[in-house]
Structures are given as C-alpha cells and as structure tokens.
Amino acid sequence: MPHHAPRPRPSGARPLTQAAGGRCGVCERAVALVAGMCADCRARMLSGLGMRHAAPAAAPPRRADLVDRIPGVLYRASPDRQRRLSYVTDAIAALCGIAAPEFRAGRQALGRLIHADDRDRVADALAAPTAAAGYDLQYRITTATDQVRWVSDRGRRTGSGSLVWDEGLLLDVTDSRAELERLLHETRHDPLTGAANRRALTERLEEECARAERSGQPLCALCVDADHFKAVNDTHGHDTGDRVLVDIAARLQQAVRRYDMVARVGGEEFTVLLIGIGTEEGAVLAERIREAIAGSPCGGVAVTASVGCAGWRAGDTPEALVKRADEALYAAKAAGRNRVVAAG
C-alpha cells in the first residue's frame, strides 16, 4: 500500500492530547491536558454546553389559567334587579351550587340568588348614581341546597347607552362575617346572661329618646334589681348566684317584645327599655316581670325583685329618664322590696 505522509497541522494548533507537564490554554496551569485544557476547565466547558441543550423554560400560563386562579367569581351582570350574567367564571358553581353555563344561558340569574331580605337594599344601592363610580356591597345569597352564605360584591359600571354592564368580583365571606358578628355581639352583650350591656343600652337610649322627641312616641324604662342578692352569693356561692342572674335575664326577655331591650347594667341590676309604651302600661308589664321572678325559683333559689318604672317626658335626656326609673327602684326597696313603684 502506498505510504501517505501525515497531513500537516495548521499553525498554532495543539494536539488532542498533550503529555503531563503542559500548560492549560485557559487557566495556564502546568497540568495534564486534554484538548489543550486541564480537567477542571474542560468540565466547566462541557457543563456550559449541557446548559445550552437543557429543556426550554415552561410556557407562561394562559389567560384562562390566570382567571381560574382568581379567588372568587368574576362576572358581567345586567344593572337591574335580575342581574343576568353574560359572563361568569366556573367558580360560581362552588359558591352557589349552580354551574356557570346555567347563568350564561340565561336559565339562572344572580338576582334570584340574593336573599329576600337583602334584595331591595342591593337593588337600591345599584340604582344609586354613585354605582357608576363603583360599588362595594355585602349581602346574603341562598344556594341550590338552601344554605345561606354571605358574599362581598365589588365592581364598577361599564359601557354606555343600552350596552351597560356591571363587572365585578364575588367573594364568599361567610366565615369572616360570622366572626365579625361574634365580635360585635361580644362588645355589646353581657357574657354571663347574654343580655345587652351598658354600652349597647346607652346607644339605644340615645336613639329612642331622639325618636320620642321627634314623634312623641311613648317610651318607658324599668330598673329591675334582685332583692338581697348578696345573701344569695354568701349562702349558696357565686356559681349559684350566676345561675340566678341567667334565669332572671331569661324571664325578662320572655316578658318583653323582640324590639324592646333588656340590658344588664350592674351585678344584679337590669334595665328594660320598652318602646311605644308609656308609664301606665310600663307599670303593668313591670308587675308581670316581678311576678315571673317571684313565682318560681331562679337558678334553684327563691328570689324576688324590686322594679322602678319611669315614662319618657318631653325634653328628657337618656340620663334623666333612667335616673327617674332608678329613683323609683330605690323607693320600691325602701317600701319593703318585691314591689313595683312608678315615677310620678
């Protein structure tokens, strides 16, 4: 076979391998080389090449995916009582138990879900001129399984002429609303008896005295105090005393109407606010209260109560009304207890 001379290497090219003792073409260290580089520099080069062939980054999420991740229900509704939805996200099914296509097809409407007691309020708010700049509502809805849930409804009005829509976001706030109501109840009610506390009574007295001043509507205050209550605590203990107070509060609540108010204002003292009732009728109801307390044991203990009664007079402040009822209470105590005295 003919002998071929080796092909000459280009000037300056290095052999694929070099003997130990050469210098790396990158870091110039005197080490064993491969392709003109030391092992460390070659490894770094190969690592860089691997990065170039790595899998491409994940594609950015689609718009539909982003909408699905929003914590709530996006909607576009007609600005009327029906609130028909031309657009709504699928999350509405989790909120009310009705699938989104039912709303989009017009077989369901948001207005039908709104609780009957809240419909007028919501309709008035959306009909107000301020709704054009945006609205922020909370109301109840009734789900497909007859559950009542609270929702936050925030949105704005868009479009013009006949093409006007409300675009907004519905959030389920049932849990936070329940927590808020619990906290409000605690700030306005006595933790032992559940009756209103002094703060709530003061606010209500101001409202009712102002109403009586405007309209002349009768108003009556009763001051009720358990007789010899210290002896109950000393003889039977404070736990029994607490049960007595709980029973007295329950009998007061049973004796009045739902729009009247029973408040615990001291250790064993209660104030009852009677709406639309004058002194004469108030004294009759006070006697029924006294009989209800004395008629059977409260908390397992036989107790009685004294009651002072005072009707509102023109110009009365809340403090003046309660002071006259309190003075009548002390007159009942001084007269032998377990009786009703009405202020003159």
Q: Where are the alpha helices (DSSP H) in the chain?
A: 39-52, 63-68, 92-96, 100-104, 110-113, 119-127, 174-188, 198-215, 229-236, 238-255, 279-295, 318-334
Cα-flanking dihedrals φ and ψ of residue 57, to 5°? -60, 150
H/E segment holding residue 306: strand 305-311
d(CA 316, CA 178): 37
Of 81, 68, 107, give the one whose Cα is nearest residue 98.
Answer: 107
List, in order, residues 6 or more apart from 194 with CB less than 8 Å away.
249
Name the percent of the chain in helix, strand, coil, to the closest 5. 40, 25, 35
Of 158, 3, 18, give the one whose Cα is nearest residue 87.
Answer: 158
List, in order, residues 6 or more apart from 196 with CB less than 8 Å away.
188, 189, 190, 204, 261, 262, 263, 264
Confirm if 332 and 308 have CB atoms less than 8 A apart: yes
Write out the catalytic residue numbers.
Answer: 268
Three-state DSSP class for residue 263: strand
DSSP letter at 30?
B
Of 280, 242, 277, 226, give the one whose Cα is nearest residue 256.
Answer: 277
